[in-house]
Structure 1
Amino acid sequence: MLNIIESYIELKKNLGMLINKSGYKNAYLAEQIGIPAPTFSMKKQRGNWNEVEMSKILAIIENEKLEDYFLLELMREQKDEKRYPVSELTK
C-alpha cells in the first residue's frame, strides 16, 4: 500500500517534466482540461495538481514515447541495485 502512495507522489512531482517530454503546449493542455493557461503554468511549476487534473492530463499525453522515457528513468534509478540470475531466483 505504501508503494502505491510513493508512486503517486513521484508521479505528481514529475508531471511537469512529463508534460515537457510529451511535446504538448501548456496552452493546449490547459484548454483541454478546462483551466486558464496561467493557472496551468503555475500548477506545472509548483506540482500542485489535483487527481482529476492529473487524470485528464495523462489521458492526453500518454503515448508509447513517453512511456519509454519513464521506463528508462526507472531503470536508471535501479541501475545500482543488486541483480540475480534467473537460475538463482528459481531455487
Structure 2
Amino acid sequence: MSDVKYMGLTRDGNSWEPQFVTELDQGSCIGCGRCYKVCPRDVFDLVEREIDEDDDAYDDYDDDVVMVMELKNAGDCIGCSACSTVCPKNCHTHTSASSMA
C-alpha cells in the first residue's frame, strides 16, 4: 500500500506512476535535441563530447568533438517519459517513483 502515494491517475482513471529519467547514455546519443525540445522542465542540455578514437560511429566526422545531450536538472524531471518516447537511440534510463523512495 506504500506505493499508492507515488501513483497517479490518467484522465480516464487508469493508474499511472511517474518514470523519472535517471541516466542518459552519451555514447549512444546523436545530439538530435528531440528530448530537449519535448521536455517541459529544462532537464536536458546540449554539450560537447570528444570523440574516442575507437568510436566507429563517428568515422565520417571531420571534427574531434560532437554535440550530445546531458542531464542538466534531473531533479526537475516530472516523470512523463516524453524524452524516451521521442529518442531514436533509446539513450534514456528511467526509474519508477516508488523505486526512488
TM over 0.5: no
Q: TM-score, normalised by structure 1?
A: 0.30
Larger fraction in strand: 2
Larger fraction in helix: 1
